[in-house]
Amino acid sequence: MGLSLPAVDIMQSQIEQYHNDGYLVLESIIPEAVCDALKARMLELMASFEPDSVRSIFTTNEQSRYTDSYFMESANKVSFFFEEEAFDEVGSLKQPLELSINKVGHSLHFQDDVFKDFSLSCVWGQLLRQLGMVEPRAAQSMYIFKQPGIGGEVNCHQDSTFLYTTPMSVIGLWFAIEDATLENGCLWGVPKGHRQGLLKRFERNAPDSVETKMVTLKEHAWRQDELVAMPVPKGSLVVLNGEFPHLSYANRSELSRHAYSIHAVDNTCDYPELNWLQAVKGQSFIPFQTK
């Protein structure tokens, strides 16, 4: 399946804004038909998922990451993670499966042809080079549902906490597959917050270990009044510097907030073996198409 994407050519003022503020909003640049195709493909993938095979719950609570081998094994697979509030007290789903999944990751860009076609487009590779990457590579991808009523809060974090490079290079591409509003859990962030540098690093205890830890690099608390909301219409792209602090609140509305994200790293930078997410043994992360 070929997904037709228009060229995205950003201006110098937008490049400067990204580097100054740590983020850039590009509204309505993805055709609705492409958003609908990605959403439809995700529904097909969910239809083939057997929920009894795993009950992995996504949470930003650090403790859960230490023991969840399913999470660690998802680096090069298409894995399904439930919302924290998806199950009742006896472990049964409280709503249909398609309304219970929090996210699917972390290798849609590699394992599924439809998402691969979209994710590795030369459009995104060119954009990343405009923002300063020399050899952009796709390291991680996630489809995020933000389910109506139970869509969980994502605490304030920096993407480079989980994908660390030396020097810093991570850029997140966050695509609104549906409208992202104040009511259904749009992104919020701290403009210029990336200038504080990286606060934490999530890493393996040793290369190839499934045991992990959160390492504090420096102490800093973001104030509530520093946050700005980033509501965007369907088809928009929010570009996030890896050190840009951002969050999303719980979705208590009746509308979902589907989004798809790709995290890219610069292949000219060092990518430590202690990062939780690693490429397939003997391979490197996947380059974007050149045309």
| Per-residue pLDDT reduced to its tens digit, 47-65 | 988 876 666 665 555 535 4
Burial class (CB in 10 A: 0-12, 13-18, 19+), 269: middle
Q: For the chain, how many residues are written?
A: 291
For residue 253, is pLDDT > 70?
A: yes
Q: 92 or 206, which is more confident?
A: 206
Whether pTM exceeds 0.75: yes
Spatial neighbors of 142 by CB under 8 A, at least 6 apart, are 103, 104, 105, 106, 108, 260, 261
Question: CA 20 → CA 60, 100, 140, 176, 259, distances in Å?
Answer: 28, 38, 25, 23, 25
For residue 283, is pLDDT > 60?
A: yes
For residue 214, is pLDDT > 70?
A: yes
Residue 236: predicted pLDDT = 98
**What average pLDDT score do residues 23-42 get?**
97
Residue 54: predicted pLDDT = 65
The CATH class for the domain spanning 12-271 reads mainly beta
Mean pLDDT, the chain, rounded, equals 92
**What average pLDDT score do residues 241-245 get?**
98
- Contact criterion met (CB below 8 Å) for 201 and 245: no
112-117: long-range pairs with CB below 8 Å, 24+: 112/41, 112/45, 112/78, 113/1, 114/1, 114/3, 114/37, 114/38, 114/41, 115/38, 115/41, 115/141, 115/143, 115/260, 117/1, 117/2, 117/3
pLDDT tens per residue, range 107-143? 999 999 999 999 999 999 999 999 999 999 999 999 9
90 forms beta bridges with none
Residue 51: predicted pLDDT = 76
- Contact criterion met (CB below 8 Å) for 288 and 125: yes
Least confident of 86-90, 163-167, 215-219: 86-90
**What average pLDDT score do residues 73-100 get?**
88
- Mapped onto helix, strand or coil, the DSSP state of residue 177 is coil
- Contact criterion met (CB below 8 Å) for 104 and 45: yes
Question: CA 17 → CA 10, 179, 192, 230, 286, distances in Å?
Answer: 11, 23, 10, 15, 28
d(CA 174, CA 105): 14
- Domain spans of the chain, in order of start: 12-271
What end-to-end distance do the CA atoms of the chain give, in Å?
Answer: 16
- Contact criterion met (CB below 8 Å) for 55 and 257: no
